[in-house]
Structure 1
């Protein structure tokens, strides 16, 4: 016995997608940066040191005197010797004038001049210690700073932004389909 069969063949509907990708462009313009540098200034003032050596006293002690000092010393020495000679001559004159005392003035004057006192000797260092005078003035240093500076100017720029949005289109790629077949008994039936 043969039974009638219904055969169904179905095709599903399919959709398709057409996509246009979005485009994004960003351009960043670099910022403008301006830097001005003002240098620092340094002023140095220096007073030089001084080193003084005064050895005039040492030269004088060595009898290597300047002409002006030598002439002044000789004038003083001559004046002193002259005054001492005048004093001695005056004394001797006074002794000779006193004849009434009956002392032998000529013999005593001759004895004094014939036997002078011994010369006074002494050990001395020439030139003497401390006769060379040294004076030192150290240098003076003055440092002054004028601080410089920096001037910075910064100008930012906005980015250039272009955006094209994407699109997606949906379409029916395949229509749905349903086929029904009756196999086996033939039935002519119309609806």
Structure 2
């Protein structure tokens, strides 16, 4: 017996995907900054030191005296010389009164004519220990007031560009069915 045969041949469909990739761009601009540092406030106050030197005695040693001091010294010297002269004359009078003891006018004349010997040598004038010195300290005050910095910042938003991707299905090959009878 010959039974007819049924032959079925199928071809599947072929499906492809077409993909357009997404595109994304992100850019972050830098922030805008302005920084300013004001100068500190500086206050300086000083009081000068004072040094006083009194060289009156050293100047007097160099014979650089004031008129008032010179007049006082001359007056004292005059009084001293008058009293010495008076004492000398009284002493000479006493000697002449005692002429019987062997004193003579010649002896008195010898006493008055002898010159005193002067000292030879170097004498330093201007003794530094005679300088009168006074000193008052000065002062220095420094006040600094720092100033805070001025900081202005403007943040820029990011720039974001996005193109969406796309997926499309494409049928590359259609499916098919072939049915055949064979005897």
TM-score of the superposition, structure 2-length normalised? 0.63
**TM-superposition CA deviations, 1:100-133 (whole Å, max 9, x none):** xxx449x478755643699597788432643552
Residue 135 (structure 2) pairs with residue 141 (structure 1): no
CA RMSD, 1 decimal: 4.3
- Residue number in structure 2 paired with 1:161: 160
Secondary structure at the counterpart of residue 81 of structure 1: helix
- Residue number in structure 1 paired with 2:125: 127
- Where do 1:1-191 residues align within 5 Å? 10-48=10-48, 54-62=54-62, 64-68=63-67, 69-89=69-89, 95=94, 103-104=98-99, 107=103, 111=107, 114-115=110-111, 125-127=123-125, 129-131=127-129, 133=131, 135=133, 137=135, 140-181=139-180, 187=183
Q: Distance in 2 between matches of 1:164 and 1:175?
A: 32
Change (3 A) 1:133 1:163: same
Change (3 A) 1:113 1:146: farther
Q: Is the 8 A contact 1:49 1:136 kept in 2?
A: no
**TM-superposition CA deviations, 1:67-89 (whole Å, max 9, x none):** 52333322221122123334555
Unaligned runs of 5+ in 1: none
Q: How many pairs were matched up?
A: 176
TM-score of the superposition, structure 1-length normalised? 0.61
Secondary structure at the counterpart of residue 151 of structure 2: strand
Larger Rg, first or second structure (1 or 2): 1
Change (3 A) 1:30 1:127: same
Q: Is the 8 A contact 1:58 1:127 kept in 2?
A: yes
Secondary structure at the counterpart of residue 148 of structure 1: coil
Unaligned runs of 5+ in 2: none
Q: Indicate the larger mover: 130-139 or 146-155.
A: 130-139
